Amino acid sequence: MLTAAARTARAIGASGIENGRSYFGAADRGLALLDRGGRVCGANDAAARLLAPFMGAAGHVVLADSVARMRLFELTARACARALGELLPLPVLLPLPHGRTLSIDVAPLPSRLRHFHIDAVALMIVRLAQASAVDQVAKLKHRFALTAAEARLAVRIGRGESLRAAADAEAVTYESARTRLKSIFTKTNSNRQSELALLVAKIDAA
């Protein structure tokens, strides 16, 4: 299953370079191009505005929250090195004042769009949303007393990833993922991945 960033990157790529250029400039959500080192090398107005408080030296996006910062570093590094459509870590969700959340997703850029900006290898999508609408991980942590790692794994299972694929995306061994899944089953009173997926869907819709 493709992330929102991967779907957007694919849609832009499919539309052709000129249409992609137009879409990039006019989109209402933040779109930023990243080079192989994870640095912003191009951005539309929305991305420039949303990322302005977090722009560090040499074009890197730097988050003050240490957990979010490490997750964004991992997501960016893996997106810059992988092919479009491969499984990547979940988007980074950064709580902001007034109940809002900044969602940051990254996906590899289609090769045909690398001619549009020769240094770009990945597309970052930035948007604001209400926390209640996007933070599945926080909901699961609160409702079932899951750890952050368990909640992320539950979300991946809920969106249809296999346990092995989820383990790879979370950069843990398959056995570690199995151990986490057993703990999730115990805490959520479920027995199968299909039951867990249904539970995640219900919690997200609540």
C-beta neighbour count of 118 within 10 angstroms? 8
Domains of the chain: 4-131 (3.30.450.20), 136-205 (1.10.10.10)
Backbone angles phi, psi at 199, to 5 degrees: -65, -45
Q: pLDDT tens across 126-169, in order?
A: 988 654 434 678 888 888 999 988 998 998 887 777 888 888 87
pTM confidence score: 0.57
Residues of the chain scoring pLDDT < 50: 1-2, 12-21, 23, 26, 131-134
* Pure H helices in the chain: 4-14, 17-26, 45-51, 66-81, 131-134, 136-144, 148-158, 163-169, 174-188, 193-205
Burial class (CB in 10 A: 0-12, 13-18, 19+), 85: middle
